[in-house]
Amino acid sequence: MAALIAENFRFLSLFFKSKDVMIFNGLVALGTVGSEELFSVVAFHCPCSPARNYIYGLAAIGVPALALFLIGVIWNNHTWNLVAECHKRGTKNFSAAATFLLFGSIMGRASVAPITWSVISLLRGEAYICALSEFVKPSSLDKFPAEYGAEVLAKIPCRDVPANLTKFRDEVTRRLRYESQLFGWLLIGIVAVLIFLTKCLKHCCSPLSYRQEAYWAQYRSNEDKLFRRTAEVHSRILAAKNVKQFFGFVALDKEEKELVQEFPVEGVQPSPQWNAITGVYIYRENKGFPLYSRLHKWAKGVEGNGPTPEGHELLFLAS
């Protein structure tokens, strides 16, 4: 029984490690849902005034979505790899398909939070009702008093209408909420179809087998973890060495003393080496052998960024 439980935990651990991007996107979506709920309770207050309603309602949906999109672009590692690539090497080594793939990856990941925000806002309907209540045609409402117009309709989200218009207020609210939720469900459907088609296209066009793609993902994850861990130790030892040279001694705890003794650091990596392992990386092969990262490429001594006579570029971006 214990062995079975341990095996199940091991399976779940491997599953979640292989689905880290999906889990991250899920956490982003959940965080966005919570933020939207908090915003609706605390910050959303429709002005209930003609002309202002429309601007405020659209801003309540669009501005936070835009801010979340920009934050997603900033947090994406591919964004800064692209910036480094353009700064150091330019984009002459990338084909149009590779450039489209890279931008699609950045925009796709950055769109998770704004799409979630827009969907939740539409399903709740408050911002939509605020924005469009004044545009409801009085003629579409049965027996609506002719003396009332857009000014009264604009006050419907605040429920500040004459008593004889209560039934019309409820009808307008139901109608606009229906439209808002319909657009929300349609947006969910469209996004789901796009995700499905993108995943199908990715696997159909991938030059890698399923097992090699899983291996590449594991390699990239392990390389990143080991690189960060080693860089942290290297920088600590180098800092200790320089502090000791300045003061004549350095105050280290037991763990740091063991690190200094075990891993002697004699120098630092020159800038060309850092530049060689920094930037966008599209999967490439050299003489039939895969190169899984810029660090892997540097370690094998392969020069240049574009395809060579001995190797070729395969348009597949690391996730």
**Domain residue limits, the chain:** 27-204, 209-298
Whether residue 223 has pLDDT greater than 70: yes
Q: Please, which residues bridge with residue 282 across strands?
A: 317
User: Does the pLDDT of residue 26 top 60, yes or no?
Assistant: yes
Residue tagged 């001694």 (tokens): 249
Residue 12 or residue 166, greater confidence:
166
- The per-residue pLDDT for 35 is 62
Report the C-alpha gap between 19 and 309 in whole angstroms. Answer: 36
305 exposed, middle or buried (CB, 10 Å; 0-12, 13-18, 19+)? buried
In eight-state DSSP terms, residue 155 is T
Q: Look at residue 29 in the predicted model and tell me its pLDDT.
A: 63
User: Token pair 């090497």 is at which residue?
Assistant: 89
pLDDT band at residue 28 under the 50/70/90 scheme: low
Judge whether residue 315 has pLDDT over 60.
no
Structure tokens of 190? 């469209």
- Smallest Cα–Cα separation from 118: which of 68, 154, 48, 75? 68
**14 — pLDDT class (breaks 50, 70, 90):** very low
Higher per-residue confidence, 45 vs 196: 196
What are the angstrom distances between the C-alpha of 246 and each of 241, 250, 252? 9, 9, 15
Q: Which helix (H) or strand (E) holds 289?
A: strand 289-291
Q: Is the pLDDT assigned to residue 19 strictly greater than 60?
A: no
pLDDT average, residue stretch 88-102? 68
Residue 287: its H or E element: none
CA neighbor of 168 nearest in space, from 194, 199, 137:
137
Of 50-64, 221-235, 272-286, which gets the smallest average pLDDT? 272-286
Residue 213 has pLDDT above 50, yes or no: yes
Q: What's the CA dihedral at 91, 226, 268, 282 to 10 degrees?
A: -10
- Output the average pLDDT for the chain: 79
Contact partners, residue 245, CB within 8 Å, separation at least 6? none
* Mean local confidence (pLDDT), 81-87: 76
Query: pLDDT category, 312, cuts 50, 70, 90?
Result: very low
227-262: b (≥16 Cβ within 10 Å) or e: eeeeeebeebbeebeeeeeeeeebebeeeeeebbee
Q: How far is CA 299 from CA 48, 270, 303, in A?
A: 64, 15, 10
Q: Over the range 26-61, which residues count as b (16 or more CB within 10 Å of their CB) and which as e?
A: eebbeebeebbeebeeeebebbbebeebbebbeebb
Query: And the tokens for 56?
Result: 């405020």
What's the pLDDT score for residue 218?
92
pLDDT at 234 over 80: yes
How confident is the model at residue 158, as a pLDDT? 83
**Cα–Cα dist 194/297, whole Å:** 34
52, 134 in Cβ contact below 8 A?
no
Pick the more confident residue, 219 or 207.
219
User: Sheet containing 289-291: which strands, arranged edge to edge?
Assistant: 289-291, 282-286, 311-317
> Given a cut of 60, is residue 239 above it in pLDDT?
yes
Lowest-confidence region among 29-43, 238-252, 266-280: 29-43
Q: What are phi and psi of 114, to 5 degrees?
A: -65, -35
Amino acid identity of residue 24, one-letter, is: F
pLDDT tens figures, 154-211: 888 887 777 777 777 888 888 999 999 999 999 999 999 998 998 888 778 777 888 8
What is the percent of the chain where pLDDT is above 70?
A: 76
Rounded mean pLDDT of 60-72? 91
The predicted-structure confidence for 292-302, as pLDDT tens digits, reads as follows 998 999 998 87
- Average pLDDT, integer, range 90-119: 79
- What are the start-end ranges of the H helices in the chain? 2-18, 20-42, 52-75, 77-88, 96-110, 112-124, 126-132, 150-153, 166-205, 210-247, 254-262, 271-276, 294-299
